[in-house]
């Protein structure tokens, strides 16, 4: 019964590591993002630590944190850019380093980019725990953003916060479901 609570905490942490919110406790926005990213990666490190030991936990924490900082900005608009530029994100970001390996352009290129971004977050823990469900759960990031965009397209409500929170809920929720 604790899995939904963990999923909600994951959603909050994943949203808070994103953009467009006020800094808390007088911290700089950059420091706050780093702390939220460290916190979000900690559950993956804990799973690795419990299954594979101290070094695995430390390595997973570092690699997962690095994967979260790699970002996904050039994909999060899922080809909703209105200026007609292929693979040009709405926020002016350049394509992430892993995106050059993804063929194509447009919606499915960006969908795949979000899936790869999510896999970079979850694969280290999946490898350390020898659990393919944990490792592959990061691919849920793409459908989470797609669902948010579908709702936004249908309702014209800005679902930016929802997309990020749903991503964190799916990633931490699937980890909690497997581990607990």
Q: Is 160 exposed, middle or buried (0-12, 13-18, 19+ CB in 10 A)?
A: middle
* pLDDT value, residue 20: 64
**pLDDT tier at 59 (50, 70, 90 boundaries)?**
very high
Distance, CA of 95 to CA of 58 (rounded, Å): 29
Percent of the chain clearing pLDDT 70 (strictly above): 88
* pLDDT value, residue 84: 46
Where are any strands of DSSP class E within 22-106? none
What residues make up the domain containing 134?
3-179
Cβ distance 24 to 36 under 8 Å? no
Taking each continuous run of H as one helix and of E as one strand, the counts in the chain are: 7, 0
The total of structural domains in the chain comes to: 1
Cβ distance 14 to 165 under 8 Å? yes
Residue found under tokens 């040009």: 88
**pLDDT tier at 19 (50, 70, 90 boundaries)?**
low
Distance, CA of 58 to CA of 37 (rounded, Å): 15
Tokens linked to 9: 């905490």
* pLDDT value, residue 16: 81
Distance, CA of 35 to CA of 14 (rounded, Å): 11
Evaluate if pTM is beyond 0.75.
Answer: yes
Render pLDDT for 60-95 as a digit per residue (tens, 0 to 9).
999 999 998 887 777 888 877 655 455 455 545 567
**pLDDT tier at 139 (50, 70, 90 boundaries)?**
very high
């Amino acid at each position: 019964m604790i899995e939904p609570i963990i999923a909600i905490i994951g959603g909050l942490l994943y949203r808070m590591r994103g953009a467009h919110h006020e800094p808390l406790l007088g911290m700089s926005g950059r420091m706050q993002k780093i702390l939220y990213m460290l916190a979000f990666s900690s559950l993956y490190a804990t799973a690795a630590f419990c299954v594979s030991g101290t070094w695995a936990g430390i390595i997973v924490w570092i690699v997962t944190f690095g994967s979260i900082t790699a970002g996904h900005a050039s994909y999060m608009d899922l080809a909703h850019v209105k200026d007609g530029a292929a693979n040009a994100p709405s926020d002016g970001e350049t394509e992430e380093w892993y995106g050059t390996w993804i063929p194509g352009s447009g919606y499915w290129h960006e969908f795949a980019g979000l899936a790869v971004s999510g896999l970079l977050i979850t694969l280290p823990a999946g490898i350390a725990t020898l659990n393919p469900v944990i490792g592959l759960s990061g691919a849920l990031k793409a459908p989470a953003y797609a669902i948010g965009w579908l709702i936004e397209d249908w309702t014209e409500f800005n679902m930016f916060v929802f997309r990020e929170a749903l991503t964190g809920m799916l990633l931490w929720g699937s980890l909690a479901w497997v581990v607990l």
